[in-house]
């Protein structure tokens, strides 16, 4: 689905990064009037396996299963096969060539997203590892390679989205975490380093934005969602 045809209630993917399945279900119930896409990550999946995924899908919503598969290719292939036919829309894998090939070979109808560089990783971390290229260049290289190998898209910061969109075209799905309300840009107060607003990410070329704590910890999550959706509309 092209960016222009993505429904507003699927632009934001709410990250259910909570400890217990019941907490996740409460978030969904509070937000489902405005959002129909949810991310299940490693913490929640380990607490409930597919039970929460199935519950969300049964309510008519979409799921991004964010387990970032990273193992020998055959193991990744078998893991992807386990996810097929569960109603999952997006699944994440690490952007290593053999892993991508194995995952693509086992993929059913769901979309595979390669993780490029985690949004908790900054330029100073690149330098500390002795890497001379910029984060933006590394993300672009990995995204280009993932697309060539048959991956549907990538997970990347909105700071890198513009270059990928302009040079790799509309075929690439770009899903952007590290989203914060405008007032918090530059002072996220957490482990995210490469952050942008929802509107900035969409303007730069992202298809979807992943938002966790700014919504799930808000006193009025619907108000936060509506503000972000308005930001997205203004940027589209």
What's the full length of the chain, in residues?
236
- How many Å apart are CA 214 and CA 180, to the nearest integer? 7
- How many Å apart are CA 2 and CA 221, to the nearest integer? 27
Listed residue (130, 126, 127, 110) closest to 118, CA to CA: 126
Listed residue (76, 78, 87, 86) closest to 114, CA to CA: 76
Residue of 29, 39, 68, 193 marked catalytic: 68
Q: How far apart are the first and last CA of the chain?
A: 15
Exposed e or buried b per residue across 2-22, where buried means at least 16 C-beta atoms within 10 angstroms of its C-beta:
ebeebeebbbbbbbbbbeebe
Q: Which residues contact 176 (CB under 8 A, 6 or more apart)?
A: 155, 156, 157, 158, 161, 196, 201, 206, 208, 209, 210
Listed residue (212, 198, 192, 182) closest to 122, CA to CA: 192
β-strand pairing of 173-176 with 12-15: unpaired
Helix 73-83 to helix 97-106 angle (10° resolution) is: 30
Answer yes or no: 193 catalytic: no
What are the catalytic residues? 68
């Amino acid at each position: 689905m092209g960016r222009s045809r993505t429904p507003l209630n699927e632009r934001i993917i709410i990250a259910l990064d909570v400890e217990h399945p019941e907490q996740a279900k409460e978030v969904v119930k509070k937000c489902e009037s405005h959002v129909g896409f949810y991310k299940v990550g490693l913490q929640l999946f380990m607490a409930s396996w597919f039970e929460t995924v199935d519950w969300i899908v049964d309510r008519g919503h979409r799921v991004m299963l964010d387990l970032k598969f990273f193992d020998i290719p055959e193991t990744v292939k078998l893991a992807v096969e386990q996810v097929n036919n569960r109603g999952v829309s997006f699944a994440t894998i690490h952007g290593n060539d053999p892993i991508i090939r194995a995952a693509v070979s086992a993929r059913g109808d769901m979309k595979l997203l390669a993780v490029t560089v985690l949004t908790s990783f900054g330029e100073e971390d690149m330098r500390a590892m002795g890497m001379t290229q910029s984060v933006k260049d590394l993300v672009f290289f990995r995204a280009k390679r993932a697309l060539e190998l048959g991956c549907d898209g990538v997970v990347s910061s909105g700071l890198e989205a513009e270059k990928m969109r302009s040079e790799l075209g509309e075929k690439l799905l770009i899903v952007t975490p590290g989203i914060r309300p405008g007032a918090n840009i530059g002072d996220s107060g957490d482990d995210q380093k490469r952050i942008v607003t929802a509107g900035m990410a969409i303007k730069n070329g992202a298809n979807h934005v992943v938002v966790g704590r700014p919504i799930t910890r808000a006193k009025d999550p619907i108000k936060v969602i509506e503000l972000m959706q308005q930001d997205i509309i203004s940027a589209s």
